[in-house]
Copies of this chain bind each other. A is one copy, B any other.
Amino acid sequence: MAEKTIIAIGQKPVANYALAVAHRHGEGVKVITIRARGARIGIAADAANMALNMGLPLRRGEARWGQEDGPKGRPVSWIEIDLAATAA
């Protein structure tokens, strides 16, 4: 089983990403990273908090942030938020 995975925030409702976290967690992934860029960054935090509120054995991990080239060549901010599985 993979130790880590990344869930990229797109255009779906926030609950979809929280459920994706639950699914990956159920598969045994140890660290689940939620990644978003630009205007979707707030959705990453919402999805992570929603996943925590589901009562799964997950804890807040670290967050990273930065900037990269966006689709139009302009710089776009990104964030990565980690959720870590706790001991069962």
Contact = CB atoms under 8 A, between A and B. Distances in A.
A79 B67 CA distance: 16
**How many copies, total?**
2
A21 to B, nearest CB: 14
Given A60-B65, A62-B62, A63-B64, A78 B45 contact: yes
B45 A79 contact: yes
Interface of A: 38-42, 45-46, 48-49, 52-53, 60, 62-67, 75, 77-79, 81
B64 A49 contact: no
B48 A65 contact: yes
A45 B42 CA distance: 10
A38 B45 CA distance: 9
